Structure 1
Amino acid sequence: MTPADPPTAGHRVRRVLRRPARLSGSGLLALLLCVLSVAVAMPAGAAPVTVTARDGFSRIVSGGWGTADQGGAWTVLTPSRFAATGGMGTIALTTDGRTQQAHLPQTGTSNDVTITLAASRTPTGGGLFVSVSGRRIADVGQYQAKVRWLADGTVAVSLVRLDTRWAETVLVREATVPGVRGVTGQQVKVRVQVTGTSPTAVRAKVWQATAAEPAAWTAGATDNTARWQVTGGVGLHAYLSRSSVPLTVRVDDVAASLTSDGTVAPPPPPPPPLPRGRRDPARSSRRRR
């Protein structure tokens, strides 16, 4: 009788019943751990984690900005150019062509930062540039709103992706912000949002500090350049044109929220338990040696 032949009356069919393998106590525990690890791995990611940063600079510090009211210590490029006094942070700029930098330690993939800025005097020549970073990635670069104070008192903004070689990729070209003035001491508010990855959405709004925040965003763009699709921090850069008179940038009312999605890779499940009476091949091979 071939395997395909049905049984006939002249043939006796022998049924072989196999008893299911029993698991030892340790085997049951390993199986339970395996099930639990799969259950833990089921969610797509952990709950988002949001941290906040705030600074009203209500302290007196020279040679830096010290520690923010909330969010950790500021890191600055040239400490002697930075100070906190009179309820504001200051950055002294000359025409040496150096960009002064300050940033906070927290990071996230969806960041929202608002800051109040002013110049101690109206710049001349090519003007004053203050870039507010919504995602700063160490050794890579940042997404930023680049705000420019011009010699005629107007204020303009552009959106830029900057790398560590100071090469800029313009996401939104510079445009004057209607109704906003940046002459001596006039405060300007800047809000920057950098959210998501692949692509990242970047947008900014600029308005006079004495007015209500506008509902509409001044500029917006998306970008999916690979190395920028990760978590990053917030901060600012300040640069003064070599053709301008020296001045001081005044910074106040820094408020930021940084959210990371919290996604983590689940741990691999433990190997399935061996049936009772079966030996671990790895152990057997070690014994044979």
Structure 2
Amino acid sequence: MRARFATAATVAVLVVAGVPGVPGLAYAAPAGRAGTAATQAGRAGTPAAQAAAVGAVPRPDHIVVVVEENHSNAEIIGNPSAPYISSLAAGNANFTQSYALTHPSEPNYIAMFSGSTQGITDDSCPHSFATPSLGDELIGASRSFVGYSESQPSAGYLGCSSGTYARKHNPWSDFPAIPASSNQPFTAFPSDYTTLPAVSYVVPNLQNDMHDGTVAQGDTWLQTNLSSYVTWAKTHNSLFILTFDEDDNSAANRIATIFAGQQVVPGSYAEAINHYNVLRTIEDAYGLTPLGASATSSPILDVWAAPAGDPPPVAAFTWTCTALTCSFDGTGSTDDTAVAAWSWDFGDGSSGTGATVSHVFPGSGTYPVTLRVTDDQGATGAPVTHSVSVSAAAGAPFVSDSFARTVSNGWGSADVGGAYSTVGAASSFSVSPGVGALRLAAPGSSLSAYLAAVTRTDADVLAGVAVDKVPVGGAVYVTLQGRRVGSGNEYDAKVLVYPDRSVTVRVIRVVGGVETALAGPVKVAGLVYAPGMVLDVRVQVSGTGPSTVRSRVWAASGAEPAGWQVSGSDATAALQVPGAVGVVGYLSGAATNAPLTVQLSTLTGKPTAG
């Protein structure tokens, strides 16, 4: 087996303050590289001492990690207000399933620096921790560390705030073992990148990290201050990492994370990563003992180019499909020694590993399936992508969910239809066997969940819905989305349960967030609601130019009515395109007995019969 060599000089970590719940990035090498400070220090010097272990992360001369604040992946990548970050995602390694650890910001920063949140659950200040951190480990291993914070008034400053500077985004100030000389304002960041310390964090101020400022402001700051480093890194054995501390509680803490550098293979990567992976990567790159939870975090190994003299493996695969289920075989991939790992991206937001895998796609369509293979020396070859077409059996549901699982802080994935996207606090969504719950915590609160992977213009959607108690003072609303084209643009059936136990239904269009009734409301005759009573709600949306929207509601214990209780048509241009299926729960601002919980027991979507 060939030896792989890398020099170790500097890692610069640029942190742009917190996006709630954003997982960080990670470099990691095998656990066998961990050791004492003395043995770590001994790695520097001769090329033999600098040789990386087989399958290890290569050792860049410099790493800059930028951590931005409080935005989800969907709010950044492809956003016209973030053209620079979007260009980084398009031209480098883009991690599509990067997640933060928790909320709010501060525990994420502390965790990425020490392997633990140290019991912190808020943004309080000050703190002082006696436990080890990345900074003092580096210094103890004869490396160097400096944290650079924009708008910090002076070197070694330990105040909680000063203008747009916030210590809560500066974790090294919480570890007294780190000297004052390693706590610098951003004005000290060198223009000669070869003089950077071994590891450096750079934290923009509250205006430029997207915390208080806009996405456009943060994007511009990043380009102005770091783009020259990104360009330089690609020809100087160096690495740039961009991530977020957390999201804004809207997307299950999924954040943007990007790697760029000389040894990085561009592309989209679907493995799940977080802040502990970032820490573990840096620790392994420098032979440090893993801290806390980083000790059990996996390294990122599939983004690195093959070292000189080691030809990368060549990916190849075949597949067969029946309806929405496909079997993939990557055993035809080749290498000069041996292929050791297969990484699959199925093009629908999900991924897999192994030489042979089976996957159920969320609906009919053509999906770009990508395979990457890594050899037994850690080299990863170029990805290979094929378009795989699948078709659901005639009349089969394109969406189906029995909620027969247990999930917290979200709804997970439907039986058919892919993963749910949610809008609202993640902690308000849960699934226990047989029930998907939306907990409306206060009057005026709203939550929604939808299946974005499958869109259609013809949808016959049926859901079993219930409310855990009858509202007092104002109604509870349950909206079944039959064609959700985008946020605030949809055709729906809206069901209201009133304090007097009556139930009404209407069909609506929503354009630009403005709701218009197409038919109704109509009171459902003979229906007297009781807590926990399951109502079957059917909405059917069919046709384009115009579209027909109709609905009926009945007690699940009874027979389905023969006719539609409400029916309307509409030709609004923005809605004459395929849309997704979903559900929205809303509690009137006049209600006085919050919290109330909307419960789904079933959700199916089939093609309309015509």
Identity of aligned residues (%): 38
Say which of 174, 188, 193 aligns to 2:540. Answer: 193
| TM-score normalized with structure 1 length | 0.70
- What is the rounded CA distance, in whole Å, between the counterparts of 2:542 and 2:530 in structure 1? 32
Cα RMSD between the aligned structures? 1.8
Match among 107, 114, 129 for residue 477 of structure 2: 129
Q: CA deviation at 1:164?
A: 3.4
Separation of aligned partners in 2, 1:216 and 1:240: 29
Structure having the higher strand fraction is 1
1:202 and 2:556 matched: no
In structure 2, distance between residues paired with 1:164 and 1:95? 25
Alpha carbons 1:118, 1:182 under 8 Å: kept: no
Give the 5 Å matches for 1:137-148.
137-139=485-487, 141-148=489-496
2:597 to 213, 233, 248: 248
- Map 1:92-131; keep pairs closer than 5 Å: 92-105=439-452, 106-131=454-479
Query: Does residue 69 in structure 1 map to residue 415 in structure 2?
Result: yes
Mapping of 1:164-183 within 5 angstroms? Answer: 164-165=512-513, 167-183=514-530
Whether the 8 Å contact between 1:140 and 1:228 is mirrored in structure 2 is: no
The alpha-carbon deviation at position 139 of structure 1 amounts to: 4.7
Q: Structure 1 residues 146 and 62 mapped into 2: Cα distance closer, same or farther (>3 Å)?
A: same
Query: Which residue is 1:53 aligned to?
Result: 399
| Superposed displacement of residue 124, structure 1 | 1.2
> Residue 138 of structure 1: CA displacement?
1.6
| CA shift digits 1:24-65 (9 cap, x unpaired) | xxxxxxxxxxxxxxxxxxxxxxx9987611111111100011
4+ aligned runs moved over 4 Å, structure 1: 47-51
After TM superposition, give the deviation of residue 126 of structure 1 in Å: 1.8
Number of aligned residue pairs: give it: 212
Partner of 2:574, secondary structure, is: helix
Per-residue deviation, residues 69-110 of structure 1 (Å, max 9, x unmatched): 111111111221110013110010022523211101210111
Match of 1:149 in 2: 497
> For residues 164 and 92 of structure 1, what CA distance do their matches in structure 2 show?
26
Deviates more, 1:47-56 or 1:113-122: 47-56
SS class of match (1:180): coil
**SS of alignment partner, residue 530 of structure 2:** coil
Does the 8 A contact of 1:145 with 1:158 survive in 2? Answer: yes
Paired with 1:149 and 1:96, the residues of 2 have a C-alpha distance of 15
1-side partners of 2:601 and 2:447: how far apart? 17
Contact kept? 1:113, 1:193, Cα under 8 Å: yes
For the 8 Å contact 1:54–1:255, the answer to whether it is kept is yes
The whole-number CA distance in structure 2 between the counterparts of 1:236 and 1:148 is: 13
- For structure 2, the 5+ residue unaligned runs are 1-390
Choose from 415, 421, 429 the match for 1:82: 429
Equivalent position SS for 1:143: strand
Post-superposition Cα deviations, 1:149-183, rounded to whole Å, max 9, x if no partner, equal 00011110111111233x11111121210022322
Distance between the aligned counterparts of 1:161 and 1:182, measured in 2?
Answer: 26
The one-letter amino acid of 2:491's match is Y
1:119, 1:182 within 8 Å by CA — same for their partners in 2?
no
Per the alignment, in what secondary structure is the counterpart of residue 227 of structure 1?
Answer: helix
Q: In structure 2, how many angstroms separate the alpha carbons of the residues matched to 1:179 and 1:96? A: 28
**Residues 1:163 and 1:98: Cα distance change in structure 2 (over 3 Å):** farther
Q: For structure 1, which runs of at least 5 residues remain unmatched after alignment?
A: 1-46, 260-289
Aligned to 1:21: none
1:258 Cα offset (Å): 4.6
- Residue identity opposite 2:597 in structure 1: T
Give 1:223's match in structure 2, choosing from 540, 557, 570: 570
**Corresponding position of 1:212:** 559
User: Partners of 1:148 and 1:140 in 2: how far apart?
Assistant: 19
State the one-letter code of the partner of 2:432. T
Structure scoring higher RCO (CA < 8 A, sep ≥ 6) equals: 1
Matched residue type, 1:118 = A
Query: What letter corresponds to residue 550 of structure 2 in structure 1?
Result: R
Q: Give the whole-Å Cα distance in 2 for the aligned partners of 1:125 and 1:99.
A: 17
Aligned to 1:257: 606
Higher helix share: 2
